[in-house]
Every structure is written in C-alpha cells, then in structure tokens.
Amino acid sequence: MVSKKIEDALNDQLNKEMFSSYLYLSMAAYFDNINLGGMSKWMKMQSEEEYLHAMKFYDFILRLGGKVKLAAMEAPQTKWKAPKDVFEDSLKHEQFISKSIHKLMDLAIEESHHPTKSFLQWFVDEQVEEEDNVQQIVENFNLIADDKSGLFMLDRELGARTAEVEQN
Ligand code: OFO
C-alpha cells in the first residue's frame, strides 16, 4: 500500500532520473561533436546508469502496488562553451537531484512509510558518490586550465571508466 502523495513523488523522481539519462546523453553528443571520445564514453555510461536509477523507481512503484506514470520530458541543453562547463553543469544537476531525493526522504519520514525510507537510503548514499565523482573531475579541469595536452590526458582517463556494479 502506498499513499497517492508518495506514489506521485516516486513517479516525479522516476521522471527526473529519466531526464538525467537524457541530459547525459546530450552531453555525450556534445563531446562526440568535438572529438572528445573519452568524455563522451563517460557521459554515455552515466546516461545508462541514470536509466537504471529510473528503473529502480519503476520497479519499486509496481512492488508497492502503485501505478507508473511517465511524463513529458523537456529538451535537454545541447550546447556548451567548453568541456569544463559540461561537468560543472553535471555537478549542479547532481546537487539538484540530491535535494530532490532528500525531499522525497522527508516525505517518507513524515508519512512513516518505512519501505520508501529503506528504498531511498541507497539513493541518498549514491548521490554522495555521484557529486563527489563529478566534483573531482571539475577539480581536474581546474588543474589543467588551458593546457591542451592535459585535456587530451583527461579525455583518455575518463574514457577508461568501467561500469560499476549496481546494487539493490
Ligand atoms: Fe540518478 O543520480 Fe545522477 O542524476
């Protein structure tokens, strides 16, 4: 059993995760267009991870006996001035998603809905990791500044990303 309020909030987060997937795919396309294949690969993997996040919400809503409602998605940003700006926007986006997860957790606590609290804890922890990962990349960009060989190296490093094992 789940209240309409929690069901709506879970669906809202499902849609936010789907948008995250779409946004990261748009970021990947930006990097492909400027021949930074490593950064594009990183973004594509991030996009896939976000899709899996959305599916966790999808499955959980159904397990609660609720209804999945997919909503219209806004078009993601497609242009950036420089590679570093993309990762800065990614960091801002993750901070926005963290806030949204925290608000959802507040609602689950308010409504004493223990299954949702337990389900969301994974996302609370995951957001700490997501923000930290992107923050580190932004710091790498700060270190290399305008150095083209540094950009090349960072592209290679980000292209070496491998899939993380999803839990839960
Ligand atoms: Fe789903 O963690 Fe990023 O947005």
CATH code for the domain of 66: 1.20.1260.10
Structural domain includes residue 85: yes
Structural domain includes residue 74: yes
Domain with 13, as residue range(s), is 4-159
Structural domain includes residue 164: no
In short, whether 53's Cβ falls inside 6 Å of ligand 1 is yes
CA distance 5 to 147: 51
Q: How many domains are there within the chain? A: 1
Å from CA of 97 to ligand 1 middle:
6
CA distance 165 to 108: 27
CA distance 119 to 81: 38
Å from CA of 30 to ligand 1 middle:
19
pLDDT given for residue 168 in this prediction: 45
Å from CA of 123 to ligand 1 middle:
8
CA distance 107 to 104: 5
Q: What is the pLDDT along the chain (168 residues), one digit of tens a residue?
A: 799 999 999 999 999 999 999 999 999 999 999 999 999 999 999 999 999 999 999 999 999 999 999 999 999 999 999 999 999 999 999 999 999 999 999 999 999 999 999 999 999 999 999 999 999 999 999 999 999 999 999 999 999 988 765 544
Residue 51 is encoded by which pair of tokens?
Answer: 């899709």
Structural domain includes residue 168: no
Is 7:66 a contact under the CB 8 Å cutoff?
yes
Among candidate residues 15, 10, 11, 12, the one with its CA nearest the CA of residue 108: 10
Structural domain includes residue 167: no
Structural domain includes residue 166: no
Residue among 10, 18, 94, 166 whose CB has most ligand 1 atoms within 8 A, to mutate: 94
Structural domain includes residue 147: yes
Structural domain includes residue 165: no
CA distance 25 to 8: 26
